[in-house]
Amino acid sequence: MTELEPIKTLDCVGLFCPQPIFEVKKGINSIEVGQVLEMLADDPGAEEDMKRWAKRTGHELLSIERLEDGVLRFLFRRMK
């Protein structure tokens, strides 16, 4: 497994704020410290929301990638 390979994926496509935030919070709490969580979302506000959430909670936002059909792929590392 590579360092950026997610241990868990959350499909939040079709969900709008604040639902993706709730899902990521639950997801990050279900993995071990140091593991990576992947989240897919198409909410236009998701990029800013996830940047703020990571900064506020102390978890690391590793990457944001634009996929086809306007879907964003986020990778988070659980830090605590």
Residue burial 60-78, b: 16+ Cβ < 10 Å; e: rest: ebbeeeeeeeeebebbbbb
- Among the listed residues 17, 61, 62, 71, the single catalytic one is 17
**12 tagged catalytic:** no
Closest CA to 58 of 80, 26, 29, 31: 80
Active-site positions read 17
